[in-house]
Amino acid sequence: MKVTVVGAGAVGASCAEYIAIKNFASEVVLVDIKEGFAEGKAMDLMQTASLNGFDTKIVGTTGDYSKTAGSDICVITSGIARKPGMSRDELLGINAGIVKSVSSSLIEHSPNTIIIVVSNPMDTMTYLVHKTTGLPKNRIIGMGGALDSARFKYRLAEALEAPISDVDGMVIGGHSDKGMVPLTRLATRNSVPVSEFLSEERLEQVKQDTKVGGATLTGLLGTSAWYAPGAAVSGLVQAIACDQKKIYPCSALLDGEYGLSDLCIGVPVVLGRNGIEKIVEINLSDSEKEHLAASAEAVKNNNANLEF
């Protein structure tokens, strides 16, 4: 199992670290455009192998995509990161060119790979990869919902004063501050609806805190977060590599599901060795349907600014 991560910055390096520590991949290749950067990150991570007990080989390269050849899964994290006050959508112009070039280089050397897109605006970048590569739709996945759902569960556990292992919940919709649709109605604490424990007002606060989760961290850190995004990507990679058939909310190309077509947006999917093995359609309330439709409209407006 060979995994390539393009972009050796904070998110990419964290992703590579978590994949290595989980010890399911034989090799992880880090790629970056900054001279020596990926090589240095790879060497630093390899020097933790004996300390963290993993045997995964991590190598780095400055833009040499021949070293990524034969990758089963490729992760694209490259692009400029958010700064305080920026929306994810403001990154579209610069990151579109980067993602288009990177995906082409990856497929040249690994035509059978599965691509996971992390670069923002993520739903639009995932759509771009669909439109420019010709890969089957099951092999292109946008990572957003997995991260947003982790942030949702963090906020739920905080509100419940409960261990996070007791909490389950999901966020669908666009990976944006306004587009996220946290499904509070379906969230549970050990199978009991969280509405049994939390007031409507407290649940609304959890929802709003979840939606600005990334912006909150950007304001505190001065740049985008990296630990949780890296962990979210590693979870998707492991589900595919180990054929786990896990359900994650991911940005997938829709063709009529949820009444939506010709866009990528976060919905629950089953992830296995073939990538997206099934899109799961859950029954949404009228309010949830309205929010998802509004989120989809915003994503489509973003997509209209793409140049193929």
Active-site residues, by number, are 175
Residue 85 annotated as binding? Answer: no
Question: Which regions of the chain does DSSP assign to beta strands (E)?
Answer: 2-6, 27-32, 57-62, 73-76, 114-117, 140-142, 167-168, 171-173, 180-182, 188-189, 192-193, 246-255, 261-272, 275-279
Bridge partners, 57 (sequence order): 27
Residue 189 annotated as binding? Answer: no
Residue 99 annotated as binding? Answer: no
Residue 144 annotated as binding? Answer: no
Residue 88 annotated as binding? Answer: yes
Integer Cα distance of 306 and 308 in angstroms: 6
Residue 120 annotated as binding? Answer: yes
Q: Which structure tokens are listed for 190?
A: 């050990």
Q: H or E element: which one contains 146?
A: helix 145-160
> Residue 252, SS3?
strand
Bridge partners, 268 (sequence order): 249
Residue 82 annotated as binding? Answer: yes
Residue 11 annotated as binding? Answer: yes
Residue 155 annotated as binding? Answer: no
Torsions phi, psi for 264 (to 5 deg):
-105, 130
List binding-site positions for substrate: 82, 88, 120, 151
List binding-site positions for NAD(+): 7-12, 32, 95, 118-120
List binding-site positions: 7-12, 32, 82, 88, 95, 118-120, 151
